[in-house]
Amino acid sequence: MKTKSSASKKKTSTGAKIGGIIAVILFFVLMLMPTPKGMTPEAQKSLAVFVFALIMWVAQPIPIYQTSIIGILLLPMIGAVEKQKVTFGALGYDIIWLMVAAFVLTSAINETNLGKRLALSMLTKFGKTPKGTLISLMLVNFILAFFIPSTSARAALLIPIIMILLEVYEQVPGESNFGKLITLQGVMNNHLATSMVITATSSQLLAIGFINKMTGSKLGYMDWLLGSLPQVLITGLIAFIVGYKLYHIKDLNIGGESTKEILKKQLIDLGPMTIAEKKTAIIFALTLLSWATGNYQEKLFGFSISTEQTAVISMLVCLLPKVGVIDWKQANIKWNLMIFSAGAYAIGNAFNDSGGASFIIQNFVEKIGLNTLNPNLVAVILIFITIFSHLIFTTKTVRATILIPTIITLAQSLNINPVPLAMACSFGIAYTLTLPPHSKVNALYLSLGYFDVKDELKLGLITCFIGSVVISLLYFTYYQIIF
DSSP characters over 447-475: TTSSS-HHHHHHHHHHHHHHHHHHHHHHH
What number of other Cβ atoms are within 10 A of residue 326's Cβ? 20
Max mean pLDDT range (87-101, 191-205, 309-323): 309-323
pTM: 0.65
pLDDT tens for each residue of 407-427: 887 888 778 899 999 999 999
Q: For the residues 27-48, what does the mean pLDDT come to?
A: 93
pLDDT of residue 127: 63
Q: For the residues 12-26, what does the mean pLDDT come to?
A: 88
Q: For the residues 312-323, what does the mean pLDDT come to?
A: 92
**Strand blocks (E) in 236-353:** none
pLDDT of residue 365: 67
State the Cα–Cα distance between residues 463 and 101, nearest whole angstrom: 30
What 3-state class would DSSP assign to 458? helix
Q: At a CB cut-off of 8 Å and minimum separation 6, what does 105 contact?
A: 156, 160, 283, 284, 287, 311, 314, 315, 318
State the Cα–Cα distance between residues 433 and 199, nearest whole angstrom: 19
State the Cα–Cα distance between residues 114 and 242, nearest whole angstrom: 33
Q: Which one is predicted more confidently, 193 or 439? A: 193
Q: Which one is predicted more confidently, 204 or 44? A: 44
Nearest Cα neighbor of 178 from 167, 188, 189 is 167
**Strand blocks (E) in 179-324:** none
Q: For the residues 173-184, what does the mean pLDDT come to?
A: 86
The burial of 479, by beta-carbon neighbours within 10 Å (0-12 exposed, 13-18 middle, 19 or more buried), is given as buried
* Structural contact between residues 37 and 4, judged by C-beta atoms closer than 8 angstroms: no
* Structural contact between residues 351 and 359, judged by C-beta atoms closer than 8 angstroms: no
Max mean pLDDT range (53-57, 71-75, 101-105): 71-75
pLDDT of residue 5: 40
Mean pLDDT for all residues in the chain:
83
In one-letter notation, the amino acid at residue 362 is: Q
Q: Which one is predicted more confidently, 161 or 26? A: 26
Tell me the pLDDT band of 215, cut-offs 50, 70 and 90.
Answer: confident
